[in-house]
Structure 1
Amino acid sequence: MPTQTGSAPAVSLQGHAATGRYIYRAKAPRSQPLEAEHAKLTHALAVHRQLLSHAASAIRTLTAARNELIAQALEDGLTLTTVSTVTGENLRALRTIGLAYDDLHPSGLPRNAHVAALKQKSAELRAAERHRDQITERREALMVMALRKQVCDDLELASLTGLTPDHVRRATRGSVRPA
C-alpha cells in the first residue's frame, strides 16, 4: 500500500478553479484591440450615465422652481391662459400646480415681472430637456456601436447604462446584431 507524504498537489479540473469556484468559459478571451474598445465604450457609457443623472437633477430643480413661479403668478391674479401661453403647459397641469401650493400669499409683483420670470425659467427648462435628449441620443449611438463591434451584449449594456435589457433591445432595434 503506498503511503502519502507531504501535501496533495492542487488539481485543477476543466471548469473549476483551484479554489473550488466555477470559471465561466463560454466565451473565448477577448483580443487586445477588443479589450481596448471595450474599456473605451465602458468608460463612455459610464460618463453618459453620470451626465444623464446630472441632467435629470437639473430638470427636477428647474421644474420645481418654475412650478413655484407658476403658483405665485396664479395667486397674484394672472389667468391660466396667460400662464399657459408663456410656459407652454396645458390648463389642467397649471390648475394642478396652482392647487399644490396652497400656502402662498399675494406677492404684489406686477404682471410683467411674473411673465418675464416665467419666460426665463421655461426657456431654461426647455434647454435642460434638450441637453438631456442629446445625451440620450449619444448614449444610444454608443450602445449601437458596442453591438455592431460585438464589444458588449444586451445584458452588459443594460448593466452599464442602468436600463433594462428590454429597453436596450428597443433602443437598438434595427441595428446590425452579431450572429
Structure 2
Amino acid sequence: MPAHARSVSTVSGQGRSGEGRSAEDRPAAGRYTYRAKASRSEAPPHAAAKGERAKLAHALAAHRQLLSHASSAIRTLTAARNDMIAQALEDGLTLATVAAVTGENLRTVRTIGLAYDDLHASGVPRDAHVARLKAKSDELKAAGLHRDQIAERREALIVMALRTQICDDLELASLTGLTPDHIRRASRGIARPA
C-alpha cells in the first residue's frame, strides 16, 4: 500500500474513533443522566407543597362530609326522641320523670310536649316509655360525642394548616365551610413561620 494511502487511512480512522469518543464524553450526555436521576429522586419544592395542600384539602373535605352526616343523624335522632317525649307526656309521664330520663331540663321537656297538640293516648306502659326514652337519649348522646370528635380532628387539621401556611385563612374557610372569623379565632396563639 502506498504511504500516502496509509496516512489517509490512519487519519480517517482516528477521526472516526475520535468522533466516537467525543460523543461518549460529551458533557450534555452526563448532564442528561444526572437530570433524569434528580427528577426521579427529588421533587421540586413547589410540587411537594402542592401535594401537601392536596392532601389537606382532601382531609378537610372528608371531615366536612363526616360532620354533615353526623349533624344529619343528630337531627333525625332528636326528632324521633322529641316524638317519644311528647307521646310519653300524653300517656301520663310527668315532666320531672321525662327530664330525668332524657337529661333535658324541665322547660325544654315542657316546650317539646306543647309542640305536639294532636296526640292521643297510646296505651304504652310507663316502663316501656322510660326504656325507649333512655335508649334514644343514649343514642343521641353518642351521636353528639361522635360529631364532637370529628370537629376536634378538623380543628387539628386547621391548626396544622395555619402553622405550616399551606393555606391562608380564606382558603381554609372555603375548604371547611366555616367562616373566616372562625378560622381567625382558631389561629390565635399559633406560631406561624416568618
Range of TM-score over shorter length: 0.7 to 0.9
Alignment of 1:84-163 (within 5 A): 84-163=99-178
TM superposition score normalised by structure 1: 0.82
The aligned counterpart of 1:3 is: none
Structure 1 equivalent of residue 9 of structure 2: none
Q: Secondary structure at the match of 1:174?
A: coil
Structure 1: distance between partners of 2:92 and 2:105: 18
Matched residue count? 151
- In structure 1, runs of 5+ residues without a counterpart are 1-29
Aligned partners of 2:69, 2:186: CA distance in 1, in Å? 21
Q: TM-score scaled to structure 2, two decimals?
A: 0.75
Aligned partner letter, 1:70: I
What is the one-letter code of the residue matched to 1:126?
A: K
List 4+ stretches of structure 1 deviating above 3 A: none
For 1:119 and 1:171, the matched residues in 2 are separated by 36
1:7-44 deviation per Cα after TM superposition (whole angstroms, max 9, x unaligned): xxxxxxxxxxxxxxxxxxxxxxx711111100000000
Measure how far apart 1:72 and its partner are.
Answer: 0.3
Report if the CA contact (8 A) 1:63-1:125 is conserved.
yes
CA–CA separation in structure 2 for the residues paired with 1:177 and 1:74: 55
How far 1:95 moved relative to its partner? Answer: 0.6
Q: Structure 1 residue aligned with 2:93, among 66, 72, 78?
A: 78
What is the aligned counterpart of 1:51 among 66, 79, 83?
66
**Residue identity matched to 2:46:** S
Equivalent-residue separation in structure 1 for 2:79 and 2:187 (angstroms):
33
Matched, 1:34 2:34: no
Q: 2:185 aligns with which of 157, 170, 179?
A: 170
**Structure 2: gaps of 5 or more residues:** 1-44
Structure having the larger proportion of residues in helix: 2
> CA-atom RMSD, angstroms?
1.3
The yes-or-no answer on 1:66 pairing with 2:87 is no
Paired residue secondary structure (2:117): coil
